[in-house]
Structure formats: structure tokens, C-alpha cells
Amino acid sequence: MASANDLNALYSIPGVLEFTTGPNELVRAEITSPSCSAELYLHGAHLTQWKPTDTAEPVLFLSPLSGFAPGKAIRGGIPVIFPWFGARSEEVTGHSKDGGQHGFARTTEWEVAFAASVGDAVHLVLTFGPSNATRALGFDGFRAALEFRLGEELHVRMTVANEGSEPLVFEEALHTYLQVGDPEQVKLHGLGQTEFLDKFDDFKRKTQDNEVLTLTGATDRPYLNTTASITIEDPAFARKLVVGKGGSRTTVVWNPWSELSGTMADLGPDAWQHFVCVEAANAFEDRITLSPKAAHIMETTISVEPLA
């Protein structure tokens, strides 16, 4: 794995992009441009911070209790979920159920492949491919890339290529933690009349009748067969967050609320009061079956607007 010094020699942009060493020697990219500030760890290709310059509050929530360590997922920001969502299932693998929660991409050390400053935005591309650890889990003929465009808006594009000779079946998600002033006040637009699986009610299939979703308790809902953008009204921060997506047919909305937040050692009992997750994904019946020599792209965009 390249050191921060090695990466600076290849990719640093004076005054804009620098590679440094964070907790437990994890290498990260620090971005400070005229349009935004951001922080991206190579561990999991994990974006932990992004804030447009003219925005008062951070856009991404990062748990103050998050562990930054090899082999451990970072809590908050945008974890990259691949090649399965949640617990590994036979539907994804065809045979095996071994492997950790949400796959191995979020605990893998990715490599920097490209960095540039274009206008006021910074472009970064990270990649990873098969290793002995992924092959032991049955994943060999794949390659993944994440492209970040960090400016007044955030664009994240995930590409998965099947370099093998057999179909590649996988799930994926950009598990975005959005910082909000008060989740009990937020209103989510864009999911009305959409079917979802209620993970807190035995995965029952339901339809959201209301055009506006408000949160009143622990929520974990994969919304299925939807390509809609989501707008989150956040009165406490007097702003709207607009989350668009492409190549995604699942949208996941998650907040553990008070009854579950304290059970997570890297989250804490009060953390639920500061975020809501809205995730671009392809999971469950929207999982991807990728033909040999083909590629699939999923992307998400986030912008911040004042709340009228």
C-alpha cells in the first residue's frame, strides 16, 4: 500500500489536495478548494467529510465514536457496500453465507488511480480488485472503481466490471449518512406510492401511501424499484438536501432511533439525533447480475439548497 508521501509525490495539488496519515496510520486525502472541504480515507474508499464553502453545517455525519482501524468499518460519511447488502445471502452468492456484514469493500484498502483539479472541483478516482481474501469468499473476476467529484455539489460514481467468464451477482450501496438538525422534524420527498420492505416488521412488503415521509421511530426501509431523487427538508438547519441517483433501483432510508442507537458501540445513544441515511443502492430483488466483460455504473449526487 502506498504511503502518504508516495501519494503526495504523484497526486498532490498544492493548496488543494494533500495526503496525510490519520488514526492508526490510515492514509487519507484532505481537500480544501474554493468550493468545498472534504476528507477521504483510502480505507474503504470512505468519504468522511464534505462541506460546500458557503454551507454552515457539515453535510455528512461522522460518528465521534467511529473506529479507524484496519479491518474495521468507519461509522458515518459514505460507507461503500459491496458485494452484498446486510448479511450475505444465498441469492447473492448461489451457495455460501460466509463473510462479514455489508461485504468487504468498506474494509478494503483502495488504491488512488487519478487526481485532478478542474475548475473549483477536485476529481479523485480510487480502485480495487480481487485479493486472496476476496477469492476465499468466491469473488475473483471483478474490478471496482469509485470516482469522486467534490465541489459545490458532491458526485460519487461507482463502477463494477465483471472480468470473469461467469455472471457476477452482487448488491451495492452508497450508505450515505446525512447530517440533520433534528430527524424528528425532517421531511423526505420522493418516495410516495413506493413499495418497501419494513425490516422492523419481519421484512413485510408495504407501500408508502403518504407523499412525504416523516420519521417517528426506528426506521430501516429498502424502497424497491425506484429511481426517484429524494429531497430532505431540514428545518433545524434551514436547508434542503437533494439526493439524486443513477443506475440504482433501491433507495434505503435508515435511522436507528433511541432504542437501537445506544446498542452500537461505534455510534452512541444520542447519535441518532444528528443524521438520517438515504442510500442509493441495488439490493434484494434489485440486485445486479452482470454478464462477463460487462460493467455497471451506480452514482449519487448531493446538493444543498436553502429552505424557503
The catalytic residues are 175, 279
Q: Are 248 and 228 contacting, i.e. CB atoms less than 8 angstroms apart? A: no
Q: What is the DSSP letter of 223?
A: E
Closest CA to 138 of 168, 115, 163: 168
User: 31 vs 157, 206, 243, 301, CA distance in Å?
Assistant: 18, 42, 22, 18
Closest CA to 121 of 13, 241, 21: 13
C-alpha to C-alpha distance for 27 and 232, rounded to whole angstroms: 32
Residue reference for cell 457476477: 168
Q: What is the DSSP letter of 135?
A: H
